[in-house]
Structure 1
Amino acid sequence: MSATAIAPRAGTSSGPRLDIDLQAVGRNTRLLADRAAGELMAVVKADGFGHGAVDVARTALAHGATRLGVTTLDEAWPLRDAGLAVPLLSWLNPVDADYGSAAARDVDVAVPSLQHLAAVAAAPGRSRVHLHLDTGLARDGADPASWGQLCRAARRAEQRGEVEVVGVMGHLACADEPGDESNALGRTRFAWGLETARAAGLRPRDRHLAATSATLNDPRAHHTMSRVGAGLVGIDPSGSTRLHPAMTLTAPVVQVRKVRAGTPVGYGHTHRTAAATHLGLLPIGYADGLPRLASGRGQVLVRGVRRPVVGRISMDQLVVDLGSRGIDQGETVTLFGPGTHGEPTVSEWAAWADTIEHEIVTGIGARVERRTRPVPHLRSLS
């Protein structure tokens, strides 16, 4: 076997690159805003699902979203630093979080327990809070058994001027399966939670239960607002609606070699070539977010044709079977994109790795160069 030494072609990429299409984010936001019965909160947690929190936030706000949402307060500060002054909610923080800064910077916070309420009430300033009810996940949010006590305590804190209860929130466990009976239970529990809050003397103007899947498929879960994150970047967990994927991942071929039939490839020799072929090496691996579980199953687009990933995906590299003709060293191949040119999609990579699209898009590492395609004049997006 021999490695083919070919000078890189002019204009080829020097390393893996992630291209973000904000036009796609704009189109998705418009569709989701049209579906929502009330306001649309653009959830830009996890750096905008790996697409850039500030860029996604600005795009979403220009296309129908009216608010922003994040998990932690640390995710909220860059949005405020970028000059985004719209209502902003953070809903997953420890008891000892900096709630004083949240009040000072007009960041609403979720309150899932009596301990959180006490911490928020004790912080400087008067915090705007959204009481968070667990509607069936046994995860974040107050257990229904403590909900009435939390509502009454929140009302007392409100009367003392320590907090302002502006919202009640929940989350559905199986919204990606609209017919699942747990969704009906979640909606019923949320309705009960609202009545309990009102009985305690609270008047929350923001009431939100639906995320992407319920916004698209379950009008009964719509209240005054919907929280949408994955849908902004083209992911519909329910698979019911065609959205526009906003991420394309490419990488150059850094080495091409011609090998004989029966050549073992990669760690563990999990693959042996069935015939004489060319192997291409890409400088990207699981340290960059490509799932190792997709080894031997993944595909990439090479000169308009899909070619298989062979052998194990390593930390920094993977091998592609290029076939009998090979390609030039330095050429760029596409690992995934919107699928409009035959390239694999994020959905396919998720299936090859037995995971969900969210994990793929949020997992692309810092070594991969980012390039953002801005949104032109809004009328060109129609």
Structure 2
Amino acid sequence: MFIVKSNAYGHSLKEIIKNLESYVDAFGVVRMEEAILVRKATSKPILLMQGIYTESEIKTAKENNIQVVIHKISQFELIGKNDSELGLWIKINTGMNRLGLSQEELKLVYKKGIIGSDSVLMTHMACGDDPDDPMNKMQINNFEKAFDLVERTTKRSICNSACLINFPELSFDWVRSGIAAYGGEFKNLNLKTAMTFRAPIISIRNIRKGERVGYGGRKKASEDMRIAIVYAGYADGIPQTTTMGLKCW
């Protein structure tokens, strides 16, 4: 599965789908609006990773054949109330402590027969980019305990980009590749950054030692120097909080 949330991390959702559709089995997003845009561009499976919260979202997901992640009991209750046949991914909290069912909640849901054999059991690794962090082993063990509570035919998904790179043996039925495909930084991998940000220089000026530049006068000249003004700023996606020393070519 290729993650295209947040407009494909700013790379243009439509362009990414057009160029990569034949290489992936499904697409993942976090908002319903994104899921609908993806559905207009492809017939491949779509996963709404933050799930559904209203009856109207259930209806939209069903009409557009969008699979959903369930991470709390109230979402199961909402689905049961509306008697909807949705593709379900059950998210388990294995230690990251953001979203996901506890072991006890999983037991409760499973006893009610809500989790089918075609459901996917998933979790998210907090420290997958550091293979030596002991939290990885803890999360893997907790996920295995959760899997023991459901049908053995239930599909599994643990790996995000970092986990896929450092723990390929955990690939199982689905992997969720996101930042790595866009050129994220991972040790010992020669990944090429997918995006290049270009802007023209519109002014060059000389300033004296001690003079200050920009909002808040953040840059103070340590000597007489020549500076260039680049035609780009926070309105174009460059964070206003960017630290001094951002490299440009």
Report the TM-score when normalising by structure 1. 0.60
Matched, 1:145 2:104: yes
Which of 261, 267, 289 in structure 1 is aligned with 2:237? 289
Larger deviation, residues 127-136 vs 255-264: 255-264
- CA-CA distance at 1:263 after TM superposition: 3.0
Q: Secondary structure at the match of 2:184?
A: coil
Code of the residue aligned with 2:93 in structure 1: it is D
Q: Which residue of 2 aligns with 1:248?
A: 196
Distance 1:60 1:192, change over 3 A: farther
Are positions 1:89 and 2:42 aligned together?
no
Alignment of 1:4-23 (within 5 A): none
Deviation at 1:295, TM superposition (A): 4.1
Partner of 1:195: 148
Task: Assess if the C-alpha contact under 8 Å between 2:117 and 2:153 holds in 1.
Answer: no
Cα gap change, 1:209/1:263 in structure 2, threshold over 3 Å: closer, same or farther? same
The number of equivalent residue pairs is 248
| Structure of higher RCO (CA pairs closer than 8 Å, 6+ residues apart) | 1
Deviations 1:316-363 (CA, angstroms, capped at 9, x unpaired): xxxxxxxxxxxxxxxxxxxxxxxxxxxxxxxxxxxxxxxxxxxxxxxx
| Corresponding position: 1:43 with 2:3 | yes
How is 1:1-382 mapped onto 2 (pairs within 5 angstroms)?
41-63=1-23, 65-82=24-41, 84-96=42-54, 98-123=57-82, 125-153=84-112, 155=113, 157=114, 165-198=118-151, 203-204=153-154, 206-236=155-185, 238-301=186-249
1:249 counterpart SS class: coil
SS for the counterpart of 1:101 is helix
SS in 1 for 2:164: helix
Kept in 2, the 8 Å contact 1:108–1:127? The answer is: yes
The 8 Å contact of residues 258 and 278 in structure 1, kept in 2 or not, is answered as: yes
Q: Percent identity?
A: 21
Q: Alignment partner of 1:250: what SS?
A: coil
Are the aligned partners of 2:2 and 2:27 in contact in 1 as well (CA < 8 Å)?
yes
For structure 1, the 5+ residue unaligned runs are: 1-40, 302-382
Distance in 1, Cα, partners of 2:39 & 2:33: 11
Contact preservation (8 Å) 1:209, 1:221: yes
State the 1:146 CA deviation.
1.5
Verify the 8 A CA contact 2:51 2:71 in the aligned structure 1: no
Tell me the distance in 1 between the aligned counterparts of 2:31 and 2:202: 39
How far off is 1:107 after superposition?
0.7
Which protein has the larger Cα radius of gyration, Structure 1 or Structure 2? Answer: 1
Q: Are the counterparts in 2 of residues 42 and 57 from structure 1 also a CA contact under 8 Å?
A: no
Distance 1:93 1:271, change over 3 A: same
3-state SS in 1 of match to 2:149: helix
Structure 1 segments (4+ residues) deviating >4 Å: none
Deviations 1:77-127 (A, max 9, x none): 001112x11111112035226112211211111111221012123336411
CA distance in 1, matches of 2:169, 2:45: 24
User: 2:52 touches 2:58 (CA, 8 Å); kept in 1?
Assistant: no
Greater strand percent: which structure?
Answer: 1
Counterpart CA distance in 1 for 2:52 and 2:84 is 18
Check 1:285–1:145 CA distance in 2 against 1; reply closer, same or farther (3 A cut).
same
Q: Scaled by the length of structure 2, what TM-score is found? A: 0.90
Is 2:89–2:121's contact at 8 Å kept on the other side of the alignment? Answer: yes
